[in-house]
Amino acid sequence: MDSARNRIHELTTALNEHNHRYYVLNAPSISDYEFDQMMKELEALELAHPELADPNSPAKRVGGDITEKFEKVKHKYPMLSLSNTYNREEIIEWESRLHKGLGAGTDLFSSVEIEYVMELKYDGLAISLTYENGKLVRGVTRGDGETGEDITANVRTIRSIPLQLRGNHPGEFEIRGEVFMPRAEFERLNRERAANGEEPYANPRNTAAGTLKQQDSGEVAKRKLDCFLYYVYAQDVTYNNHFEAISHAADWGFKTPPSDLRYIEKTSSVDGIMAFIEHWDKERHNLPFEIDGVVVKVNRYAQQEELGLTAKSPRWAIAYKFKAETVSTLLHKITYQVGRTGAITPVANLEPVSLAGTTVKRASLHNADQIEKHDIREGDFVYVEKGGEIIPKVIGVDTSRRKEGSLPHSYIAQCPECGSSLVRREGEALHYCPNENGCPPQIKGKMEHFISRKAMNIEGMGSETISGLYDHGLLRNVADIYDLRESQLLGIEFTVSDEFGENPKKRSMQEKSVQNLITGIETSKQVPFERLLFALGIRHVGETVAKKLARHFKTIDALAAASFDQLIEAEEIGDKIAQSIQDWFAAADNRSIIERLRSAGLQLEVSAEEAGASSDKLKGLTFVVSGLFQHFSRDGIKANIESNGGKVSGSISKKTSYVVAGDNMGPEKRKKAEELGVPVIDEQAYRGMVEG
C-alpha cells in the first residue's frame, strides 16, 4: 500500500512537471511516448487504489467526471467588463481622465507618473480560478458578472492550467484569465465535423464557450482548450503592481503572456500604447489564437485602487478594439420592433450572408438618424459589420449599386403594434411608443422584466405564461399578477412557439404548473424593496440605481414624494434619472399599481435590519482602508465606518487605530503600519467589530 502511495506521488510530481514544461513553457524534456507510459501507469494505480486518487491528479486531465448541473457560485469580486475604445483620441481622453482622477491638474506643475501594462485581448471566455494551499479548488465562469457556474471538472482538463502550484505562491488566492480555443484546434475540429457530414462550428470563441459547458469533462478534454491568466487577487503579497503579479504567476506555474513575443509590455506614454496597438493590429492574424483588441491597464495597485470602478468596468483599464469585419449584402426590407420600454428599433432584413463565421439575416439599423445619415433604402446593397456584439449592424450603403428610381426610406410615425403616434424626446435618438400601459409588447415586456430572475424572480411564470394570460385578459399590468386565482388558471390554454416565433403549439395549464405559479407569486412578496424598485421598470432605474435609491430613500412613499432636488442629492442620481422617476410617479396608473402592490403585501420599504445600520460602536476610532473588499465597495466601507461613529483617514499615522486591509494592498502600507505598531485587520475582523 505504501509503495503504491509513494509511486502515485512520484508519478504525480513528475507528470505535473512534464505537463508544465510541455503546455506552459513549450519546452518538453521527454517524448510523448514516455509521458503516455507514465500517465497509463498512474491511471492504473489510481484505478486499483481509488482511495489514494487526488481530485487534482494529472490523470484528471483526460476528464471523465460528469457534472449533472453546474452549481451557481457568487464571485468574491464581480467579474467586470472593460470599456471599449476604437481610436487614438479615445485613448488620449482616457489617459487624461486618469491624470485627473489621480489628482493632477489641480495645480499647474503637478503631474503624476502612470505606468501602463499592455496585453492582448484574448477572444474567449473569462474564468476565475481559486487556489488553496497550492491546489486548484474551483473554476467558475463569468456568468452575469455577479454569479457564475462551477465548472471545475472541465477546467481540470485544460492542460495549461496548473492543478498543483510550484514556487512561493500565496496560501489562498484567486486568479482570472481567458479560456480560448487555439485556431489550429478549431480548424481540426471543423475538419473532423466536415468528414462526419456535420455543420461546421461558427468561430473559436463560441466553440470554446460550448465546450466549457459540456457536462462530460471527457468531451472537454478532447478539445484542446488553452488559457492565459490576466489578473491576480491575493493578500499579503510582496509586489505592488500588476506586471509583477503576472510574472509571479508564471513562477507559480501559470501560463502568462510571454514578454519576448511582445504579448505583454509596459509603457508610460500614449505613443507607447499606440505603438503596441499598431503592432498587433498588423500582426494579429499571425497569432495562433484569435484576439479582438488589446487591453491597457494601470500598473500600480495603489493607482488602480484610487481610480476605482464604475458599475460595469474598472476605470484603470480599457480595451482597444480592432476594426471589425464587414461584408455587403442586399437589404430586402426594414421592419420595426417595439421593446419593453416602448423603444422602437428598426431592423434590416437581409439576404443571408456569411460574416465572421456566422450567417447573418438580420441587422440593427439603430434609429431614424442612422437611416437618414447613411440614406439607407430598401433594395440597397448595404455594408454589414460584426463586432463583438451578437447582433450585427448596418454601417453604410454601396451607392454604386443603387437601383434607379429608389426612394429614401420614410420612418414610421405610428407604433406598428398599437397604432399610437410615436414620440421622440429631445436629445434622444430613439422613437418611443408612448402608450406604455396599452401597447401589447410593452405590457408583456414590462411583466417579463418584472418576473425576471434579478427582479421579482417569480418561478413558474415565463414569457409564454405572460403572453397567454395577457391574451385571456387576465393580465394588463404587474399588479394583476397578485390577483390571479387558482380557479382562473386551471385549464387555461395558451400557445407556445419555437425560438423563431414559429410552429405554434397549444398547451393548457395543469394543476401542477398552476400550483408552482401560485407558490412563485406568493414567494415573490418577500422580495426586498430594492429589487421591487428595479422590477417596476422605471426608465433609467437599473439594478444599481434601484439599490442606491432604496438605501437613500428607504420607502417607496419617500421616493414618490421626493422633489427633483432631493432626488439628485442621492448618490449616482443625475438629472435624467430624477426626471424619469418624477414622470413615473406622476402617472395615476402607476400610483394605483403601487397601492395595489401594497395591499397585496409586497415590500415597499427597506427591511428594519437594513434601515437601522447605524451605531456608535466605532466612536473615537480612526481607520485607514486599503485594498479591495468583498462585502463593501471602497466608498461603502468608508460610509459604514462613519455610520458606526468611526473616522476615516487617508494615510497611516500614529493616530490610526486600525488599518483595514483588503486584497492587493501594497506592501509599503503594511510595512508602515507595522513600524508604527498599528494593527492591520481584514474585512472579516472589521465586520466582526461592527456587527458582532
Contact residues for ligand IVH, defined by CB under 6 A? 80-82, 119, 121-122, 126, 178, 230-231, 295, 314, 317, 319
| Separation CA 465–CA 492 (nearest Å) | 10
Minimum Å gap between C-beta 46 and ligand IVH is 34
Nearer to ligand IVH, 231 or 276 (CB): 231
Minimum Å gap between C-beta 121 and ligand IVH is 4
Nearer to ligand IVH, 80 or 604 (CB): 80
Nearer to ligand IVH, 311 or 639 (CB): 311
Nearer to ligand IVH, 665 or 673 (CB): 665
Minimum Å gap between C-beta 319 and ligand IVH is 5
Minimum Å gap between C-beta 304 and ligand IVH is 9
Cα 362–chain centre separation: 25
Among 7, 231, 254, 12, smallest CA distance to 136 is for: 254
C-beta of residue 116 within 8 angstroms of C-beta of residue 296: yes
- Burial annotation 61-90 (CB, 10 A radius, 16+ → b, else e): bebebebeebeebebbbebbebebbeeeee
Nearer to ligand IVH, 121 or 531 (CB): 121
Size of the chain, expressed as the number of residues it contains: 692
Minimum Å gap between C-beta 295 and ligand IVH is 4
Minimum Å gap between C-beta 660 and ligand IVH is 22
Grid coordinates representing 164 are: 498543483
Which residue lies nearest ligand IVH, judged by its C-beta? 126
| Separation CA 237–CA 664 (nearest Å) | 7
Nearer to ligand IVH, 20 or 205 (CB): 205
Nearer to ligand IVH, 209 or 353 (CB): 209
Nearer to ligand IVH, 39 or 296 (CB): 296
Residue 297 phi/psi, 5-degree rounding, is -125, 145
Q: Cell match 418576473: residue?
A: 451
Q: What HEC string does 166-196 produce?
A: CCCCCCEEEEEEEEECCHHHHHHHHHHHHHC
| Separation CA 45–CA 38 (nearest Å) | 11
What are the counts of helices (DSSP H) followed by strands (DSSP E) for the chain?
Answer: 25, 22
Q: Cell match 461558427: residue?
A: 202
The burial of 440, by beta-carbon neighbours within 10 Å (0-12 exposed, 13-18 middle, 19 or more buried), is given as middle
3-class state of residue 225 by DSSP: coil
- E strand or H helix that includes residue 205: helix 204-212
121 is catalytic: yes
Give the β-pairing of 72-74 and 147-149: antiparallel
205: left (phi over 0), alpha (psi -120 to 50) or beta: alpha
- E strand or H helix that includes residue 87: none
Minimum Å gap between C-beta 144 and ligand IVH is 12
C-beta of residue 76 within 8 angstroms of C-beta of residue 630: yes
Strand order in the sheet with 83-85: 83-85, 317-321, 291-298, 116-122, 264-267
Q: Note every long-range contact of 525-530, with CB atoms under 8 Å and residues 24 or more positions apart, other chains counting.
A: 525/482, 525/600, 525/601, 525/602, 525/603, 526/603, 527/455, 527/456, 527/457, 527/602, 527/603, 528/603, 528/606, 528/607, 529/555, 529/556, 529/603, 529/604, 529/605, 529/606, 529/607, 530/606
Nearer to ligand IVH, 121 or 449 (CB): 121
Q: Which of 121, 255, 548, 669 is catalytic?
A: 121
C-beta of residue 456 within 8 angstroms of C-beta of residue 535: yes
Q: Which amino acid is at 192?
A: E
287: number of Cβ within 10 Å: 15
Nearer to ligand IVH, 314 or 445 (CB): 314
3-class state of residue 157 by DSSP: coil
Q: Which residues are tagged catalytic?
A: 121
